[in-house]
Chain A
């Protein structure tokens, strides 16, 4: 059996090991990766940076710990930008594990930017059934959330005085790992017509670019690469930028394996049935 034939039958665990070892390299010797900012990410940054201090932005954190790796860096970058620009931020979550995500981010960043809950930001909390919740939010934030997540009536929060529904906020930024993006598109942008932007996982990205082109979205932050771009724009380098070195190494190894397996596949004349993964 030749080397190439052996490669076609390689145990997948060797590939796992190779990727695992590869991503350890940047932990020993890190390096900077140049990050080019894409227009769809810049549009969100420009939108937030053009808002005046005291204006309201609505941030929906619809993900759980399984998507933290991709989405937390972009949420942190956006909230950093909003807090640094003295914007008022209204948080909500339609994901059952979202409250933990929001609490972690707001507690860290509020302390860093000297922001007070109820005055500079508010966390409405969690409700199930995204469509119903979004439509109710469009009527009045107090319909689905008479109290905030901590049990304080919205009317008693200084920040919420005179703030009724989406017509009082400048835009909605939805950061999600699931189909809540569709609910925000349909029942949010479609029904109430407010400016909507998405921060989404890499796997979802290619499904939402058509809404950017149609103007239903004003921006998209796709996966951890988009998060790194946003961090660069905001000037708060975080885990998104840090992950880029690891991503380069891991992708290099994956590309190497793809090239190697294709060379082996064609060099062995596609003669071994069951090799190469394709049905014949």
Chain B
């Protein structure tokens, strides 16, 4: 590890410990690290947007390449700033209308295809049978309907409906359980990665 890396990793190790100190209680070290992250992130993002979007997609095409059609979207972007004026804020509705109109037109069909048709097809596509795939289909169909019945409040949850909704809540809990387990793994991974980083830093510091 070079001296430059050692200093850089030393700062990172110090900031890691600053953030961890919040686990005990709020303190100035934590506040410093938190605000540093927010400030650096904002500055970085602003400059990234400027150089990869304004420069590339507005300034370069219009000023240097003579692609004047880019003035139209640029103008729509600029009039969004009229939101800051009570008198002129209505102008920004043209940009919003344009954006929402195109967004809706493009999205509605692909949303239906992705989230509804393909999912419905997968749920009912494989016929119920005694084979693994068939039993799997049966489980999916029963689980989907039961979970939906749990949220179906137009009739009392008694009798068959009661049994189905009860089964539905178990299915939902299994889903939550899987989600919780994977969330714990993810959160532990964040801690572990920092512990490994600190370990490697100490080894580099001591061992050279």
Contacts and interface: CB of A to CB of B under 8 A. Distances in A.
B189 A224 contact: yes
Interface residues of B, number: 41
**A: contact size bracket:** 35 or more
B204 interface: no
**Can you list the 9 inter-chain pairs with the closest CB atoms, starting with the nearest?**
A214-B122, A69-B193, A202-B186, A202-B182, A246-B192, A190-B114, A203-B183, A202-B185, A224-B189
Interface of B: 23-24, 41, 44-45, 48-49, 52-53, 56, 103, 106-107, 110-111, 113-115, 118-119, 121-122, 140, 175, 178-179, 182-186, 188-196, 199
A24 interface: yes
B53 A127 contact: yes
A239 B186 contact: no
A215 B122 CA distance: 8
Interface string A114-134: 000000000001111001000
Interface stretch (A39-47, A75-83, A181-189): A181-189
Nearest to B110: A190
A147 B64 CA distance: 15
Nearest to B202: A27
A205 interface: yes
A176 interface: no
Given A147-B56, A247-B188, A206 B179 contact: yes
Contacts of B41: 97
B189 A223 contact: yes
Contacts of B23: 13, 16, 20
A239 B189 CA distance: 10
Contacts of A99: 48
State the main secondary structure of chain B at its contact with A.
Answer: helix
| Interface hub of A206, A215, A224, A254 (most chain B Cβ within 10 A) | A206
A199 interface: no
A253 B26 CA distance: 25
A30 B191 CA distance: 17
A239 B200 CA distance: 12
A23 interface: yes
18 contacts: A66-B190, A70-B186, A97-B45, A131-B106, A131-B107, A146-B56, A186-B110, A203-B182, A214-B118, A215-B122, A216-B114, A222-B182, A224-B189, A239-B193, A242-B196, A243-B189, A251-B185, A254-B184
